[in-house]
């Protein structure tokens, strides 16, 4: 086993007859923001709980910084920042007291924990509310406290389970601002799960799609979006307007916006390759401003991949 | 380094527990103190009744003691040490059960354990906090016992150092062992709440029957030492046992 922040090999976990994880292979490198998406019950949270040593897998190997989280978590814990789907706060305490308590668990001195708590509450935008009890906080504010808590010990690996769940735009921005900075400046690795595909697409260097306990697609965000969309769509912006009849004669099956002079071609639907399209453009001496492949959203890729997996099963 | 870390972890848990006692449990805390006071009255009253009943029997030991106020005062004080500390396990278990249950159901344990803290350390911190709060209440109850016994029998009870040691150290330590065992069960076994309530009820009934049957009790220094050592060993064994429990079992995921 190497000392990668996260390395899972063929991990399996059952709950009775239910197979929660069916051979998960996954690794996260230092400084990488790794996203994991999948439908409810697909195994995202179970994967996280396995990583935190809260579930023992029946098969496969799990390594966090080269140690087994089930048996050696005391070595791993101080290097980790964890934000679970439930913020898990002590409602009777104030934000500062809660962070001081966790600072104590991490072995920080009382003064050190207090100073760090103050810094982090400023960083997550909770200045002025630090003396209010946590039970009076909104869901978004509680998520911010949980985020501050997971940054308390200056972690080398962040594990965030649904951090965007029920948060407002401001909290989302706080998360978006903090995480990439930690990855690039301090080499913090991040594993984040979410149903918010847009945020995952924006933040993550690599993404895995998990379905029925298996990773059905995984790769760098741009590559994943290109290779798993299930469709190749070319968008051509012509510099000279052509009548729509001519456009449909040359490129049967394409969508043409005559007013803008934009052709949109689904290559599979049109039964053409990229080369054939380019050849036709050159043969017809059509001048154009741009030709580009239409980028599919993560949402499209997600549906395409999970649907494919469902059909193959 | 490791020791300092452990001390900081335990101190953080103790401080957090006290903050919660004072904020979350103001009413229940007050009610429990009230209940403790009631319990003292109930037991002292029963004790007094048992002594009077025994004294009415011909040639009974109690009758001869009642005839000599000094002997009776000493014997009563000897019994006293069994009454006041009884509050401790009830009180401590109530505090611990609430704390365990609340953190389990508010999903706080998983983030806590993800810091790498040993569950045994958290358990020990909670035990110390609960014991300290209960000990303070117990001290109040011991004082109350003195007052009640004086009121019932019209005696001023002379407290010897041995008795003070017994009431404020030996018996509380024995109770701590009992509390530790129940707290261990509470963490290791999710369905322990009912058993704990029942165990406490049985304990109270047992002590009540014991005192009724033998109104005059004394404990020698040898037995007291064994009791303290065994109790502390039990606490250590429970803490060790908790540290061996899987975090999955405690968090209940």
B12:A88 CB<8 A: no
Which value does ipTM take for this structure?
Answer: 0.82
**pLDDT at residue B13 in the model:** 96
Taking phi over 0 as left and psi of -120 to 50 as alpha, with beta for the rest, B249 belongs to alpha
For residue A65, being part of any structural domain is answered with yes
- State which residue of chain A sits closest to B250, comparing Cα positions: A54
Chain A residues close to B13, C-beta within 8 Å: 101, 104-105
**Mutation test of the interface with chain B: which of A46, A54, A117, A136, choosing the one with the most B Cβ atoms within 10 A?**
A54
By Cβ distance, the residue of A73, A86, A93 closest to B16 is: A93
pLDDT in tens, A191-233: 999 988 888 888 899 999 999 899 988 888 888 877 665 567 8
**pLDDT at residue A133 in the model:** 93
A49, A181: one domain = yes
CA distance A132 to chain B (A): 13
**pLDDT at residue B101 in the model:** 85
A52:B110 CB<8 A: yes
Whether the predicted pLDDT of A93 surpasses 90: yes
What share of chain A in percent tops pLDDT 90?
42
A169, A196: one domain = yes
**pLDDT at residue A267 in the model:** 81
A147, A278: one domain = no
Would you place residue A1 in the very low, low, confident or very high pLDDT band (cuts 50, 70, 90)?
Answer: very low
For residue A266, being part of any structural domain is answered with yes
Helices (H), B87-215: 87-105, 109-113, 119-153, 161-165, 171-188, 192-213
Whole-number Å distance between alpha carbons of A85 and B219: 55
CA B158 and chain centroid, separation: 24
A162, A223: one domain = yes
Whole-number Å distance between alpha carbons of A80 and B96: 28
For residue A179, being part of any structural domain is answered with yes
For residue A107, being part of any structural domain is answered with no
By Cβ distance, the residue of B12, B115, B122 closest to A77 is: B115
Q: Terminal CA-to-CA distance of chain B, rounded, Å?
A: 32
**pLDDT at residue B204 in the model:** 67
Chain A residues close to B118, C-beta within 8 Å: 74
CA distance A200 to chain B (A): 23
Mean of all residue pLDDT scores within chain A: 87
For residue A101, being part of any structural domain is answered with no
**pLDDT at residue B42 in the model:** 80
pLDDT per residue rounded down to tens, chain B (253 residues) = 778 889 999 999 999 999 998 887 777 777 877 877 787 788 777 777 777 776 677 666 666 666 676 766 666 666 666 777 778 888 888 888 888 888 888 889 999 999 999 999 999 999 999 999 999 988 888 888 778 777 777 666 667 787 788 888 988 998 899 899 888 988 887 666 667 667 767 776 776 666 556 655 566 788 889 989 999 999 999 999 998 888 888 886 5
**Mutation test of the interface with chain A: which of B17, B20, B111, choosing the one with the most A Cβ atoms within 10 A?**
B111
Q: Evaluate the CA torsion angle B240, B245, B246, B251 in order and state its sign.
A: negative
Contacts with A, B 96-125, CB within 8 Å: 106-118, 122
Token digits for A30?
């230092």
A202, A241: one domain = no
Give the domain CATH number at A13: 3.40.50.300
Whole-number Å distance between alpha carbons of A57 and A53: 9
Whole-number Å distance between alpha carbons of B83 and A197: 64
For residue A198, being part of any structural domain is answered with yes
By Cβ distance, the residue of B4, B24, B111 closest to A82 is: B111
By Cβ distance, the residue of B115, B117, B247 closest to A54 is: B247
Whole-number Å distance between alpha carbons of A201 and A193: 11
- State which residue of chain A sits closest to B1, comparing Cα positions: A107
For residue A103, being part of any structural domain is answered with no
Chain B residues close to A80, C-beta within 8 Å: 114-116
Cα dihedral: B69, B75, B80, B82 (round 10): -160
Taking phi over 0 as left and psi of -120 to 50 as alpha, with beta for the rest, A83 belongs to beta
Whole-number Å distance between alpha carbons of A135 and A92: 7
A159, A240: one domain = no
CA distance B249 to chain A (A): 8
The total domain count for chain A is: 2
Q: Evaluate the CA torsion angle B53, B54, B56, B58 in order and state its sign.
A: positive
Whole-number Å distance between alpha carbons of A253 and A248: 7
Give the domain CATH number at A251: 3.30.70
A63, A209: one domain = yes
A56:B246 CB<8 A: yes
Residues across chain B:
253
DSSP three-state, residue B219: coil
pLDDT in tens, A116-165: 999 999 988 888 888 889 999 988 899 999 999 999 988 999 999 988 88
**pLDDT at residue B38 in the model:** 82
By Cβ distance, the residue of A84, A97, A108 closest to B111 is: A84
Chain B residues close to A109, C-beta within 8 Å: 8
A160, A251: one domain = no
Please compute the mean of the pLDDT values over residues A81-94 and round it to a whole number. 91
A18, A47: one domain = yes
Q: How much is the pTM?
A: 0.81
Strand spans (E) along A94-223: 157-161, 189-193, 206-211, 214-220
Whether the predicted pLDDT of A14 surpasses 50: yes
For residue A111, being part of any structural domain is answered with no
A203, A166: one domain = yes
Per the structure, the complete domain to which residue A262 belongs is given by: 233-293
């Amino acid at each position: 086993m190497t000392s990668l922040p996260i390395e899972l090999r063929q991990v399996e976990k059952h709950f009775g007859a239910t197979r929660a994880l069916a051979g998960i292979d996954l690794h996260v490198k230092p400084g990488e923001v790794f996203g994991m998406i999948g439908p409810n019950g697909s195994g995202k949270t179970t994967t996280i709980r396995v990583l935190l040593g809260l579930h023992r897998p029946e098969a496969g190997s799990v390594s966090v910084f080269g140690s087994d989280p089930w048996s050696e978590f005391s070595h791993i814990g101080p290097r980790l920042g964890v934000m679970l789907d439930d913020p898990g706060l002590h409602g009777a305490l104030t934000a500062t007291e809660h962070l001081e308590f966790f600072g104590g668990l991490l072995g920080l001195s009382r003064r050190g924990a207090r100073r760090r708590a103050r810094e982090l509450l400023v960083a997550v935008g909770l200045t002025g509310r630090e003396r209010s009890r946590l039970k009076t906080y909104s869901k978004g504010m509680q998520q911010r406290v949980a985020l501050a808590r997971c940054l308390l010990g200056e972690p080398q690996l962040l594990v965030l389970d649904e951090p965007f769940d029920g948060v407002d735009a401001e909290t989302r921005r706080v998360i978006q601002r903090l995480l990439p900075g930690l990855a690039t400046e301090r080499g913090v690795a991040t594993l984040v799960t979410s149903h918010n595909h847009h945020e995952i697409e924006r933040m993550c260097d690599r993404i895995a799609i998990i379905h029925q306990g298996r990773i059905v697609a995984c790769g760098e965000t741009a590559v994943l979006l290109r290779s798993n969309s299930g469709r190749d769509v070319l968008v051509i912006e012509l510099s000279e307007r052509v009548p729509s009849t001519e456009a449909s004669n040359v490129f049967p099956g394409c969508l043409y916006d005559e007013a803008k002079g934009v052709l949109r071609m689904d290559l599979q639907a049109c039964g053409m390759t990229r080369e054939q399209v380019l050849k036709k453009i050159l043969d017809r001496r059509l001048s154009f401003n741009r030709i580009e492949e239409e980028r599919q959203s993560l949402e499209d890729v997600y549906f395409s991949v999970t649907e494919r997996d469902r059909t193959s099963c | 380094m490791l020791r300092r870390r452990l001390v900081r972890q335990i101190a953080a848990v103790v401080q957090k527990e006290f903050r919660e006692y004072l904020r979350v449990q103001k009413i229940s805390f007050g009610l429990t103190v009230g209940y403790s006071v009631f319990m003292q009255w109930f037991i002292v009253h029963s004790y007094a009744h048992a002594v009077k009943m025994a004294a009415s029997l011909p040639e009974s030991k109690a009758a001869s003691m009642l005839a000599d106020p000094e002997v009776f005062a000493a014997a009563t004080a000897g019994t006293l040490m069994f009454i006041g500390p009884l509050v401790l396990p009830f009180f401590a278990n109530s505090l611990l059960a609430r704390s365990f249950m609340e953190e389990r159901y508010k999903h706080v344990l998983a983030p806590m354990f993800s810091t790498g803290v040993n569950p045994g350390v958290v358990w020990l911190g909670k035990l110390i906090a609960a014991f300290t709060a209960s000990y303070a209440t117990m001290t109040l109850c011991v004082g109350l016992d003195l007052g009640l016994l004086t009121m019932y029998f019209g005696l001023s009870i002379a407290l010897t150092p041995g008795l003070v040691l017994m009431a404020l150290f030996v018996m509380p330590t024995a109770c701590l062992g009992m509390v530790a065992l129940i707290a261990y069960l509470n963490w290791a076994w999710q369905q322990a709440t009912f058993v704990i309530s029942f165990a406490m009820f049985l304990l109270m009934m047992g002590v009540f029957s014991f005192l009724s049957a033998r109104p005059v009790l004394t404990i020698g220094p040898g037995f007291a030492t064994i009791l303290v050592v065994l109790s502390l060993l039990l606490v250590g064994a429970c803490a060790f046992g908790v540290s061996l429990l899987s975090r999955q079992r405690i968090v209940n995921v």
